[in-house]
Amino acid sequence: MEDGTSLKTGFLLRYEPSKRWKLRWFALLEEQLVCTHKLHHSMVVDIIPLEGASVVCPITDPQLNTPNNTHSFCGTFKITTPGGDELFFQAAGKHDRDMWAHAVGAVIRALSGSKQDSQQPIPFTSFRATANVTEILGAMQDPDAGVNLGSHVRNGAVHKNCFTGSAVVDWLVRWSIIRKRDDGSAMIQTLLKLGHVQEVDINDGALGASKKFSDGDKLYRFSSLNLGAKRNSYYDSTDSETSSSEDEEDETQENKLRKGKVLKASFLAKKKSIRKDWRIVRVTLRENPPSIEYSRVLHDHTKRGKIIDVEEVNTEEAKNDCLACGQDAAETARLKKRIVLKDRKGKCYIFKTKDEQEKLEWLPLLQSLSRKASAAQ
């Protein structure tokens, strides 16, 4: 599969039926999420259709918090399939998690909206003076004061994170967002048309059996449910792509002191040694203290990984002096994705990004932090 046909690609940990996390390579397409064993691998592990699905981010699920499982943390999000299956994924950090949730949510909304009748668009009119789409969604999804989400049993099937049509209109009236129930129905109809809200079909769990909102007992859910401490506009398909920064998330004071501010975190390949092959590691860049922490992907994240002191290294791009004569085009392209860190004793740490774009995201942060550390000495 070529990356050029994908909306987003990258490594994620996936919670397998064996109750273990497995590192997989994912490619997000216009209608589905494709899972393969590794980067550019032709063997497809799974294809997840996204029409009628929903994404919840972040997620902390009791079934994942077992003594032998230490990977349930703020980088986890969940995709619920139309049939009600829950699939858990873990990104390298909060920023990466939000970007995946954004991208998956945008695909789900696009698929939902494309199924709506577009001949007679319903404008966001009578209630637009007091709130826009993003503000309404943020208020509805507030964990404390938002629409009450629950599990509903219909025809023997359990549907989670759902609400009835009458319940959401009750909420709009209670908070004086609208005055008449008809206005509330029109508002949710608009959100249905935009793909932010879906009707849950109680027969098979597929995307809404009806295009018209019902102020009654029909079940609905958000196509993208943002449960973060800071809700932003990345669930509104009409807005530009943004995400909450790591320091906006709720975190205990102990964790802040232990971890410091995270500037970037992602899964990168690291060269074990000159003679050995690459392995995927979780790499975290922290501002205070200025350091790079890396550990094996399946390493217990409650323990510290190996630390590289930014004050002791110089960041280098893999320039011409790293290229041996006679390298073919494929090898040259691979070298362009490498980041080389060299400490004062001459020891090299070689990391490889998934593409040149990701390298351009890492290098300025590394170089800026290295300069700041040197100036502070």
* Backbone angles phi and psi of 260, in degrees to 5: 75, 175
- The rounded distance, in Å, linking the Cα atoms of 201 and 188 is 17
Which pair of tokens denotes residue 16? 């397998």
Q: Which two tokens stand for residue 32?
A: 């589905």
Chain Cα centroid distance, residue 312 = 33
- The verdict on whether omega for the bond into residue 62 sits within 30 degrees of 0, i.e. cis, is no
pLDDT by 10s per residue, the chain, length 377: 555 688 999 999 999 888 889 999 999 999 999 999 877 667 899 999 999 999 999 886 655 654 344 444 557 999 998 878 899 999 998 899 999 999 999 999 999 876 654 444 444 455 544 567 888 888 999 988 999 999 998 888 888 899 999 999 999 999 988 889 999 999 999 899 889 999 986 664 444 456 789 999 999 999 999 887 555 544 444 444 444 433 444 444 334 444 578 999 999 999 877 667 889 999 999 998 899 999 988 655 566 789 999 888 887 654 444 444 445 666 667 778 899 888 888 888 999 999 899 999 999 999 888 877 667 76
Contact by Cβ (8 Å): 36, 15: no
Contacts 24+ apart (CB under 8 A), 111-118: 111/31, 111/50, 111/51, 111/52, 111/195, 112/51, 112/52, 112/192, 112/195, 112/198, 112/207, 112/223, 113/193, 113/194, 113/195, 113/237, 115/51, 115/207, 115/211, 116/192, 116/193, 116/195, 116/211, 117/211
Given the structure tokens 């997989």, which residue do they identify?
A: 24
pTM above 0.75, yes or no: yes
**Each residue's pLDDT tens digit, 11-24:** 999 998 888 899 99
The answer to whether the beta carbons of residues 140 and 170 sit under 8 Å apart is no
**Which structural domains are found in the chain, ordered by start?**
3-115 (2.30.29.30), 133-235 (1.10.10.10), 260-376 (2.30.29.30)
For Cα atoms 234, 239, 243, give the angle at the middle one, nearest 5 degrees.
30
How far is 318 from 135, CA to CA, in rounded Å? 45
Q: How do beta strands 157-164 and 313-317 pair?
A: unpaired
